[in-house]
Amino acid sequence: MEKTDYNFEDHGFVILENVFEESTLKKMRDLTDRVVAYGEKNLEDPFSKYYMRHRTDQGALYDLFQRHPEFQDMAKNEKILNSIAKIVGDDIFLYENSLVYKPKGKNNEVPWHQDFINRPQEPLKYIAWIALDDVKVDNGAMKVIPGSHKHGFLPWFSIPGETHHTRLQLDGIPLDDFIFAELKAGDVLIFNQLLLHSSDRIVSEMPRRAYRISYQGFDQIFTPRSTPIVLKGGSPESIEKRYSNAYKAPETVKKEIAKPVKKNVLIRFLNKVGNRLQRL
Ligand SMILES: O=C(O)CCC(=O)C(=O)O
Ligand SMILES: [Fe+2]
């Protein structure tokens, strides 16, 4: 079977070839290395309190879209968005994004998993995995089991101390049916979050940098952090078609207003106690 013969319905993924040009990829690889070097310093910066921290074992750096505009261009790529639009419709927002770069000398294996396994109540997400390098078996090509998205959400568990991924109950799943999704730099693997996928521990000196973006349609809006960012469509008419109830302030806004007040009460109380103690 050719790389480009896979489809979402039967196999749970597609591969788009030559989506990004070498000049863009070169720029992004350079930025990636600088971002990783900075991430590894683990410094406190003004963004730290908003965005996910770095996971250094498997090498995952989150929220680059929000921090670095260069990644926004990648996430808004028309070929990727048009491909996902065929399944979720023309309104798409950014759910989550990260760089996955398999650091050398670390336990960089990614076990078989499905993405966002703990969020079965949310609409399905589709993940675009953009190869920034040529990705072969030796340097950690993604392994996927065609058609495995049809199993739906599998039972899962986590091992204490493992930070990045949950583990699946894999009894009865034909793991031997996997294929390696070998890609050229600039190719994109787009998969249903339920597709079983993994990658081996690698020792190769060849870098394996990939930028992954999770997208979702507008059926219901959930965002793991920050506010939803619309990447395609989202016209007033299209939104009105889906949502026609009168606006009521959401819970979160009320909480945000309530928080500082609570803090002030606590600070006032502590000041009072402090003053009393000073007077004793
Ligand atoms: O990059 C890898 O090896 C695994 C990435 C992954 O699990 C994902 O993109 O969801
Ligand atoms: Fe994954």
Query: What pLDDT shows up at residue 57?
Result: 72
Better-scored residue on pLDDT, 273 or 236: 236
pTM: 0.85
Contact criterion met (CB below 8 Å) for 98 and 64 = yes
Pairing outcome for strands 188-192 and 179-181:
unpaired
Q: Are 215 and 93 in contact (CB under 8 A)?
A: yes
Ligand 1 center from residue 142 Cα (angstroms): 7
pLDDT (average), residues 253-259: 50
Q: What are the strands, taking DSSP E only, across the chain?
A: 13-16, 60-62, 92-100, 110-113, 125-131, 142-144, 156-157, 167-168, 179-181, 188-192, 197-199, 210-217, 229-232
Q: Is 42 left (phi over 0), alpha (psi -120 to 50) or beta?
A: left
State the average pLDDT over residues 192-216. 96
Contact 122, 116 (CB under 8 A): yes
- Residue whose CA is at the smallest distance from ligand 1 atom 5: 100
User: What 3-state class would DSSP assign to 179?
Assistant: strand
pLDDT at residue number 258 = 46
List the single range of 13-27, 132-146, 160-174, 180-194 with lowest mean pLDDT: 160-174
CATH architecture of 3-242: Sandwich (2.60)
In the numeric block, which tokens belong to residue 111?
A: 């076990």
Task: Give the count of beta carbons closer than 10 Å to the beta carbon of residue 252.
Answer: 9
Q: What is the pLDDT of residues 74-126, one digit of tens each?
A: 999 999 999 999 999 999 999 999 999 999 888 899 999 999 999 999 999 99
pLDDT of residue 253 exceeding 70: no
Provide the percentage of residues in the chain whose pLDDT is more than 70: 89
Backbone angles phi, psi at 86, to 5 degrees: -65, -25
Q: Where are the domains of the chain?
A: 3-242, 249-280
Confidence of residue 279 (pLDDT cuts 50, 70, 90): low
Place of tokens 């990045």: 164
**How far is the centre of ligand 2, averaged over its atoms, from the C-alpha of 66 (Å)?**
20
Q: Which atom of ligand 1 is nearest to the CA of 142?
A: 3
Flag whether pLDDT at 53 surpasses 50. Answer: yes
pLDDT band with cut points at 50, 70 and 90 for residue 270: confident
Residues with CB under 6 A from ligand 1: 100, 110, 115, 127, 129, 140, 142, 197, 199, 210, 212
What residue type is 22 in one-letter code? E
Name the closest-CA residue to atom 1, ligand 1.
100
Residue with tokens 């940098």: 209
Instruction: Tell which phi-psi region holds residue 18, choosing left (phi > 0), alpha (psi between -120 and 50) or beta.
Output: left
pLDDT band per the 50, 70, 90 thresholds, residue 269: confident
Which range of 61-65, 99-103, 186-190 scores highest in mean pLDDT? It is: 186-190
Query: For 115-157, how does the pLDDT look when each residue is reduced to its tens digit (9 = 90+)?
Result: 999 999 999 999 999 999 999 999 999 999 999 999 999 999 9
Specify whether the CB–CB gap between 155 and 169 falls below 8 A: yes
Q: What mean pLDDT is predicted for residues 9-35?
A: 97
